[in-house]
Structure 1
Amino acid sequence: MTATAPAPRFRWWHGAAILVAANAVSFWPAGVLGDAAFYTSFRLPPYAPPDWLLAPLWLVLNITSLVALARVANLDRPDGAAWRRGLVLVSEGVGWLLFAVFTTFFFWLHSPVLAAADTVAGLLVAGVSVAAASRLDRPAAGLIGLRLLWLLLASAVAASVALHNIDPFLSAAPAPGVEALQ
């Protein structure tokens, strides 16, 4: 009699479904209802990435995040690690929700303030995921860490855009005492 490994709980098509669903939700406000040139219409900080880089970079980060999610979801660890595994799964779920609704805030509602809040929340959630995953599966933590590094830059850009530009949705002027970027 041969022992067989248990079937993985998270399969490739689970990742594909998450990727398609999140990008479909994300695409609707930006690609159908939104203003694709909205990002470039702002006064951006000098360290802001070019707009053409964002979609391919997020595709790579989404794929690496799904690989990390699959690694953690399929772990067979002692019960003592179950809470940490659950924390990674929940925080990654929240991260996917934040990713999906970002374009609603930014491109459809035209709110750099709400988009900045979403981005910073994504940074915090990624930090929780990396911390929890690091004790379970270091490669998974490293894969999520790529998104964390990107969100450090993205949060700085988003905060700068929110501070230095008018928010049409919230009808907020640039923050008092903050100079416009040149």
Structure 2
Amino acid sequence: MFSNKRYRWWQAAAVGLLANAPTALGLTGQNSKPFYQDLDQPPGAPPAWAFGPAWTLNNVTTLWSNLRVANAPEGTPGRRAYLALEGVGWGLFAAFTPTFFGLRSPVLGAVDSVAFFGTTLASTALATQIDKKAALALLPRLAWTGFASYLALGVARRNDDPLFDG
């Protein structure tokens, strides 16, 4: 890894905690579990309990990747773009719970999911030029956000949305 470590594990952990604050603060609206269970799901949709472990793994590996790239030398090509994309990605991650569950909006959930998959794809491509281990650490998130985009688009297509269906 890079010798000049400017950023430490606890700074990465703070980013993760901040991004998970909307869920931790209960910004899911009331009765989010029945809301999810009542949705017409596309084929292959996992049970609700599977999302917690999947996102825990994704968050840990992503934070590790972010820390590696943040500690790359200041002038490293792609570093700033990667960190900016990851900032957008963390914002999209944080916004999903309030928009999908809080607003009960499958359409906004799908838009968020597809946008997050796009930022993940771009971040992974940039990371391959900066630090191969950081890029490998993003692969679980890349796979999961691709799958989540399929699910979210299916849910948006199969269900009413109070914000867009009048």
Q: TM-score scaled to structure 2, two decimals?
A: 0.92
| Residue identity matched to 1:97 | G
Q: Is the 8 A contact 1:36 1:107 kept in 2?
A: no
Shift, 1:56, TM fit = 1.4
- Indicate the residue corresponding to 1:29 in structure 2: 27
Distance 2:20 2:129 in 1: 30
Shift of 1:70: 0.4
The equivalent of 2:56 in structure 1 is 59
1:152 and 2:146 correspond:
yes
Flag structure 2 segments of 5+ consecutive residues without an equivalent.
Answer: none
User: How much identity, in percent, do the aligned residues show?
Assistant: 40
Amino acid at match of 1:108: G
How big is the alpha-carbon RMSD for the aligned residues of Structure 1 and Structure 2? 1.6
Q: Tell me, in whole angstroms, the C-alpha distance in 2 between the residues paired with 1:10 and 1:146.
A: 23
Q: 2:148 is aligned with what amino acid?
A: A
In the alignment, what sits opposite 1:178? none
Deviates more, 1:158-167 or 1:21-30: 21-30
Residues in 1 aligned to 2:34 and 2:13: alpha-carbon distance in whole angstroms: 28
Shift of 1:33: 4.8
What residue ranges of structure 1 are gaps of 5+ in the alignment? 173-182
CA distance in 1, matches of 2:110, 2:59: 19
Where 1:38 maps in the other structure, the secondary structure is helix
What is the aligned residue count?
Answer: 163
Deviations 1:78-115 (A, max 9, x none): x3x33x00111011111100000100111110000000
Q: Which has the higher contact order (CA 8 A, sep 6+)?
A: 2
TM-score, length-scaled by structure 1: 0.84
Asked whether the equivalents of residues 34 and 108 of structure 1 are also in contact (C-alpha less than 8 Å), the reply is: no
Matches for 1:80-99 after TM superposition, within 5 Å: 81-82=76-77, 84-99=78-93
